[in-house]
Structure 1
Amino acid sequence: MFGINRNKQPPIRTLIGEGTVIEGEVRFSDGLRIDGEVLGDVIATGAGRSLLVIGEKASITGRVHAAHVIVNGTVRGPLECEQLLELQPKARIEGDVRYLTLEMHQGAQVHGELRPLDAPVEQEMPALKLASNNG
């Protein structure tokens, strides 16, 4: 769907398990699943495909960046997804979100701005001109 081949997802090679708390930046390649808590940025490295799965009980406080991101937990910080962003029913995001393709299930919440990657980050709004009855 949407030009993304789900059969070609990278393997999940790393797991941050439930009950684990990591303080500091996490860098990964291929696939990472988080079921614990990360207090720091979670960044996919290297060129190519990357998959980040944020489980239902997971929490990230920091910046998130990967090619394909599946969220069913909590992210507090900006999230950037180069390909497909899947927001599952229990997803909670507090921060701005940038994505190429978005799939959002009923129940998912985003408290921030949703913006496609191809949209400019900041747009100047034209000045508001009010009509006057005074001719």
Structure 2
Amino acid sequence: MLNRKRSDRAPASHASDTSLIARGTLIRGDVRFSGTLHLDGQIEGSVLAEEDGAVFTLSESGIVQGEIRVPHAIINGRVQGDIHATERLELAPEARIIGDVHYRTLEMAAGAQVNGRMSHHAVELPRELPAPSLAGAEPVPA
């Protein structure tokens, strides 16, 4: 298997692409990504996912000073800014957030801290249900 040529492998999808920002690295400005972004360093700016399946992971050494807008976030570091997780937000024990948190699904471990509002955004359902079909229905006795 070690000698297989690259052409023998299945093409990699964007969802399997992983980027790492290492400890000691400081980025000033917005970061846009697809696939997976793992942050051990620091970002002074927004973190924005460019696809629906994107995952952002902030390790306990990681810091974000800005807004985070992603489908799935796993936070175990410090965030100073709002978080918008359109699908799932996981707050690990070392998560420290100063800002509002918007999520569809939330998992919060003991020890995680949020200093701001927490706002659940459910999937919107239609306001009216379709009328039931009466075809083949038996009459209801009076």
**What's the Cα RMSD here?**
1.3
Give me the identity figure in percent. 40
Instruction: Give distance in 2, aligned partners of 1:55 and 1:36.
Output: 9
The residue aligned with 1:43 is 48
The residue aligned with 2:122 is 118
The residue aligned with 1:70 is 74
Q: Could you list the runs of 4 or more consecutive aligned residues of structure 1 that deviate by over 2 angstroms after TM superposition?
A: none
Instruction: Tell me, yes or no, if the aligned pair for 1:12 and 1:51 is still in contact at 8 Å.
Output: no
The residue aligned with 1:33 is 38
Map 1:4-23 → 2, pairs under 5 A: 10-23=15-28
Q: Are 2:108 and 1:104 equivalent residues in the alignment?
A: yes
Counterpart secondary structure, 1:14 = strand
Instruction: Tell me, yes or no, if the aligned pair for 2:47 and 2:69 is still in contact at 8 Å.
Output: yes
Q: How much has 1:11 moved relative to structure 2? A: 2.8
Q: With a CA cutoff of 8 Å and minimum separation of 6, indicate the structure with the bigger relative contact order.
A: 1
Instruction: Tell me, yes or no, if the aligned pair for 1:86 and 1:103 is still in contact at 8 Å.
Output: yes
The one-letter code sitting in structure 2 at the alignment partner of 1:45 is E
Q: How much has 1:56 moved relative to structure 2? A: 0.5
The residue aligned with 2:89 is 85
Instruction: Give distance in 1, aligned partners of 2:50 and 2:29.
Output: 16
Q: Normalised by the size of structure 1, how large is the TM-score?
A: 0.78
Q: How much has 1:91 moved relative to structure 2? A: 0.2
Instruction: Give distance in 2, aligned partners of 1:65 and 1:21.
Output: 19
- Please list every run of 5 or more consecutive structure 2 residues that lacks an aligned counterpart in the other structure: 1-14, 124-142
Q: How much has 1:12 moved relative to structure 2? A: 4.9
Instruction: Tell me, yes or no, if the aligned pair for 2:17 and 2:34 is still in contact at 8 Å.
Output: no
Instruction: Give distance in 2, aligned partners of 1:20 and 1:79.
Output: 22
- Which has more radius of gyration? 2
Call closer, same or farther: CA 1:12–1:112 in 2, change over 3 Å: farther
The residue aligned with 1:53 is 57
Alignment length (residue pairs) = 109
